[in-house]
Structure 1
């Protein structure tokens, strides 16, 4: 993922850095000083740090005049990949047109190997050309968008499992089907899974073969320890496609990728959508996908079909996936409900919900009011409290829902108010009854209840304490393959441990 990392670091020209400078007559401490030096083509240097937090630093230096242009040098002094350090790259700009934008633009073009009059040269350029000859490349698909129909995949389910600091996939018996080799992975959906490292992500099939090479990252990052890790740029596959939101030299508009790894709508969208400033697409569900369009004073959401036809006009403040013929939508903050495929409100009778999530297993999690959770059926509220069975002759009790995830395999994760006022992490059935409490299982202390892990293919993956008692002192929601004092287990719908990471 080197070229992408370089492009992000170049943006650091807009951020002032501290530290030693290269040998020059002037050592600038801000970009205005350096731009003035370029305009005069006088020797000067300016040190920058990476605003994305990727651990890279570099220096710009004015070299001197080349004809009517001014030659500038750039080199990394620090980089997560040592192979990029101390390899200078030179390029030229027109002094009369010098600005932070033109200097940054010239360097970006050099590092992304675009043609131009920038006269790019030097060891860094050669290294980038050698290690990333086709960065950001992806074969374009032909014909209509192959999305909108569920995909059935033969074969037993595969489950992510870490070993020796890397992720791979096992079957229900714990037998390795894809050897451990990645820093982070996602669950399989429709026979495809996202796999990645600190920055680069790709997509594999059930054999572990890449259908999209591990070369892509998103523009968003998360902090893990003291490092920044790029989040996956790919959504889970749904109805034949994934939605991609990748970063190469800049954030690109979202587009679709089919199960063969071919891209659609990346270079050009359907004619009906070209005049719209669409910022994002959602996944296809029941043949429709939501889109988010810039519409001052705020973004609006609508839905399209696979041909790119706008089926529901962009009139909603928020949107979600269709399921059981209904999709969550809102017309303003705190005014949510469920609409039908013709865009009409169906549930409840007015826009009275504070928030709503898509249906799953016939139930949808909603917030009737702020900080108040409930589940709804397609016609009415199902339950707003969960029922704890009585133990040792005690009476059953009910508890308000603080927050919850979606139902899968007949169970949903819920954070409910415990008897002592704290929050209890439980799994409930479709009647609102507590099926089991993970922390009540022998030797189990859940470390990641905030993520409300959901069931998938009959099992749910949890991070639990090695000593069965405490998870303090670490951030356990990052999906790393190894934690100092915790490990992964899978629990089945009966509340029994089905798989456990080898410690």
Structure 2
């Protein structure tokens, strides 16, 4: 068997739409799996979750069914495990479709750095290993996945005036379950490039892995870091900053911006979408797309017109802004 197309190929494939069905292309824009699925998701660890008629399950890079499943909800594979839900409870399956951790949790996260955050039946969160054994017992009001050896956890929650649960007192633990950064924040994001965005009382800053703030708390939308760079957006200005919080470049006429991905950040300007690099240079003159997505494995999906997902009005561009693949009804916008 061709090793490039075994059950766990690492070749990045991208889904495309055509007349309400989905298939997959390779990074060169060549169709590798024709459009025949009513639902399709990105490949993860060599497998993609799809639906064809009444059949739902995972396919490999050849478009062959690896296994079908009848769970109520399924998430992509990570660390050789996929979260599944059945009758309101979460468990895990392996890449053969075998249930390796029976559905028993109220909520479950994907595996990251060898462990997964789960919510026990009593409402508290802890962390399990790949066998389902608790390595950090349930004790938190909320918990996120580990990233760079740290995970955000909440030690307290309360009900607001509408009866909704509000999480506060958020900090970080290490892989031993020890508090590494005190729980003093209202919001806390994953660590990337040794930095995390945290906030309290509507103000945000960035901290290092010792919990030291690198900027004054401020009214700013600070995106998470990627390769040591981030976007900081205020009402007055939009800056690209480095991991010390220092300004690298200032953007003008930007309406919206996303986290950097593969060295480029999606930005919506007053006259359309483009991507900006860490020097603040636009990849191309803004184009009036209806929607656009982050770069993943060297390509980004852009769409023209409404109902783009269903009708096949999207395309993929490369890091130079060139079209690699155009769906059947995609119309290249002027501008």
Distance 1:415 1:199, change over 3 A: farther
Specify the alignment match of 1:357 in structure 2. Answer: 189
Distance 1:210 1:279, change over 3 A: same
User: Which of 278, 288, 306 is the matching residue for 2:105?
Assistant: 278
SS of alignment partner, residue 331 of structure 1:
strand
SS of alignment partner, residue 154 of structure 2:
strand
Q: Is the 8 A contact 1:411 1:427 kept in 2?
A: no
* Greater share of strand: 2
What displacement does 1:346 show?
Answer: 1.3
Matched, 1:501 2:327: yes
* Greater share of helix: 1
User: Which of 35, 48, 65 is the matching residue for 1:180?
Assistant: 35
SS of alignment partner, residue 481 of structure 1:
helix
Residue range with higher mean Cα deviation, 436-445 or 188-197 = 436-445
TM-score, structure 2 as length reference: 0.70
Q: How big is each residue's C-alpha offset from its partner over 1:48-98, in whole Å with a ceiling of 9 and x where there is no partner?
A: xxxxxxxxxxxxxxxxxxxxxxxxxxxxxxxxxxxxxxxxxxxxxxxxxxx
- State how 1:29-428 maps to structure 2 within 5 Å: 154-196=9-51, 201-213=56-68, 216=70, 218=72, 233-246=73-86, 251=87, 253-266=89-102, 278-295=105-122, 299-332=123-156, 333-347=167-181, 350-364=182-196, 366-379=197-210, 380-381=212-213, 400-401=220-221, 404=223, 416-417=233-234, 424-427=255-258
Count how many residue pairs are aligned between Structure 1 and Structure 2: 284
Q: How big is each residue's C-alpha offset from its partner over 1:21-42, in whole Å with a ceiling of 9 and x where there is no partner?
A: xxxxxxxxxxxxxxxxxxxxxx
What displacement does 1:171 show?
Answer: 0.7
Of structures 1 and 2, the one with the larger relative CO (CA 8 A, separation 6+) is 2
Q: How big is each residue's C-alpha offset from its partner over 1:416-461, in whole Å with a ceiling of 9 and x where there is no partner?
A: 456599972324559xx98563514446234447xxx444323333
Specify the alignment match of 1:459 in structure 2. Answer: 299
What displacement does 1:188 show?
Answer: 0.9
Distance 1:492 1:346, change over 3 A: farther
Q: How big is each residue's C-alpha offset from its partner over 1:86-144, in whole Å with a ceiling of 9 and x where there is no partner?
A: xxxxxxxxxxxxxxxxxxxxxxxxxxxxxxxxxxxxxxxxxxxxxxxxxxxxxxxxxxx
Distance 1:381 1:201, change over 3 A: farther
Distance 1:290 1:500, change over 3 A: same
SS of alignment partner, residue 237 of structure 1:
strand
Measure the CA separation in 1 of the matches of 2:116 and 2:325: 35
Specify the alignment match of 1:445 in structure 2. Answer: 288
Q: Which runs of 5+ in 2 are unaligned?
A: 1-6, 157-166, 239-252, 275-283, 330-335
Measure the CA separation in 1 of the matches of 2:126 and 2:108: 10
What displacement does 1:159 show?
Answer: 0.9
The structure whose Rg is larger is 1
Matched, 1:481 2:335: no
Distance 1:211 1:345, change over 3 A: same
